[in-house]
Structure 1
């Protein structure tokens, strides 16, 4: 059972297909938000909607599973070191970027919204909030991880729908994160075998693509309306598909791998160019197909955070994308190296 803990002074080597998978998922996340914002002004939607609906089955399940793959390397750490390595950096980014709208209520309303955001995240940063909780829970239940995984799967059969982000999304997605952690060694071994037999992997991916594309319009992916178990089944099938695709594309699209290696800057900052670009498009009067506009704005919303990250990483503004070295139990920036670029 390969569950060793990597020494703190030796960062784990990157795995190409993991970066590829994160790149695919983070770009699809941006595309979903971009298209949704643009379509607020168009009740008819666009041709890109089926793509976004199809990607829902693996977009977030894939990100959570890939994030959980390296948990076994960290659970052997004591709680203080574990929190310093994984939880403090994520909490720092959430608190840094979690700025609620000022609104008409002034300072009081701003403060109330900020405090509420500590309990019930909303907006695009919910993923980081949930990821922080997932790491803590995974560490706590690790001695009983297989029983916890079974319990998480039961919860995911019919996720909660309370209207509160944490319980609803926890029951929907924790199973994927914990599965990535529990089956980390097996998943990586399967990926190695898939890479060694590319023709068979391509065939398997083609079958998955055909079946998943057919399932999208008929089964749907809305947690509120899908029959019990559909969300979980589609998620499991979706992560298989994204893993196969990642293995096939790993190393062949360097820009995609780069996005995966720098998924954190993209996730933290894509909202600003997205909002600015959407305003320009809607007010310019330029007539663009909504699907084409969504693709163009997605490219901008991904490229601008990457450029900003490169520009500020050796300046006083580096705190925007990397936890400062002084903010941690050990005070030497281990968290910064661990989470400075990738979710």
Structure 2
């Protein structure tokens, strides 16, 4: 007889537990990908963790974009002014601030490129995002486009799916990633109610859900050796099909793990600070490892540095609350298009 006791899906604060779990899974895998890639490039050596990173590519970004789109319906009914103030201004603020911090590390005005090099690279990042913060840039674009096309959302979903059959490969981040991932964001918005209802049913039938997850896991692992890192350049339609399957897998995984790993849920609830700041401990930690002569196995080092790169932003986020440095993760009160009630939350900590 199937188990019928649902997992707690709405923890304190009205959040949906499995959504936080899914975001936690995806954000950690994003950090792992960047950490491992940077380490391997620095030492000129691959590691045993690469197959897992290749496998996760099938659902890492499609899942994160779909989960981010689930609550678009709460915003599209707002006026444009309220919509921009509620979502777009905070995202743009965080991108501009943290991209400046990123650029200062990569192209310091006191370095070889000088002040002009810093300004040029920062200006380029306003048009074509590069580095780890491209997701924030694209998420901002996705929200604007979703609201603009919401009246014709079903037709827009069909068009975005057609674009995702063969994503662009121009070398420019915005058109390439837009055609690859907007379909998942918009699908999360259009089918939000159906997805949440399906998750509730899956949570109420854990045995069946576990069987479905096992089947998905086996098939997704089998796909990895054949496609792996070449998913984006595979035959037309493969990217979309793997993304759809990957989204199903991340949803099943999230429902099964919801409420069972509190630290994972906490990462999901605070995915924005992690994404904004993880490059700081990642870069510093890599430099330290290299100066120590890289005493660890590359795969083990990647896991250790991933844990540090996730933990440090979370700690920083807590430490700066209520201090003059709170602007790092909270939009300043003056940067608002509308008057706000005292104590009203500006923007959540989740992507």
TM over 0.5: yes
**Alignment pair present for 1:188 and 2:186:** no
1:325 partner SS? coil
The equivalent of 1:7 in structure 2 is: none
1:214 shift after superposition: 0.5
Give the alignment partner of residue 201 of structure 1, picking from 198, 201, 209. Answer: 209
The equivalent of 2:112 in structure 1 is: 104
1:327 partner SS? coil
The equivalent of 2:286 in structure 1 is: 278
Q: Which ranges in structure 2 are unaligned for 5 or more consecutive residues?
A: 1-11
Contact 2:331-2:346 at 8 Å conserved across structures: no
Give the alignment partner of residue 305 of structure 2, picking from 289, 297, 313. Answer: 297
Change (3 A) 1:159 1:338: farther
Once structures 1 and 2 are overlaid, which stretch shifts more, 204-213 or 279-288? 279-288
1:325 shift after superposition: 1.9
The equivalent of 1:22 in structure 2 is: 23
Contact 2:161-2:183 at 8 Å conserved across structures: yes
**Alignment pair present for 1:37 and 2:38:** yes
Contact 1:17-1:247 at 8 Å conserved across structures: yes
**Alignment pair present for 1:328 and 2:329:** no
2:46 partner SS? coil
Change (3 A) 1:318 1:139: same
Provide the C-alpha distance between the structure 2 equivalents of 1:151 and 1:334, rounded to a whole number of angstroms: 43
Change (3 A) 1:13 1:48: same
1:286 shift after superposition: 4.7
Contact 1:194-1:244 at 8 Å conserved across structures: yes
1:155 shift after superposition: 0.2
Contact 1:324-1:333 at 8 Å conserved across structures: no
Instruction: Output aligned runs, 1:1-343, within 5 Å.
Output: 13-99=14-100, 100=103, 101-102=107-108, 103-332=111-340, 337=345, 339-343=347-351
Per the normalisation by structure 2, the TM-score is 0.92
Task: After superposition, give the CA deviation of every residue in 1:62-106 in whole Å (9 maximum; x if it has no partner).
Answer: 110000000011111000000111100000000001122135232
Provide the C-alpha distance between the structure 2 equivalents of 1:71 and 1:135, rounded to a whole number of angstroms: 8
1:338 shift after superposition: 5.5
Task: Provide the aligned length of Structure 1 versus Structure 2.
Answer: 333
Change (3 A) 1:335 1:276: farther
Q: CA RMSD in A?
A: 1.7
Contact 2:71-2:189 at 8 Å conserved across structures: yes
1:314 shift after superposition: 1.2
Contact 1:323-1:333 at 8 Å conserved across structures: no
Provide the C-alpha distance between the structure 1 equivalents of 2:60 and 2:232, rounded to a whole number of angstroms: 18
1:333 shift after superposition: 7.4
Per the normalisation by structure 1, the TM-score is 0.94
Provide the C-alpha distance between the structure 2 equivalents of 1:333 and 1:58, rounded to a whole number of angstroms: 39
Contact 1:68-1:181 at 8 Å conserved across structures: yes
1:153 partner SS? helix
1:251 partner SS? coil
1:335 shift after superposition: 12
1:222 shift after superposition: 2.6
Q: Which ranges in structure 1 are unaligned for 5 or more consecutive residues?
A: 1-10
Change (3 A) 1:333 1:326: farther
1:220 shift after superposition: 2.9
1:328 partner SS? coil
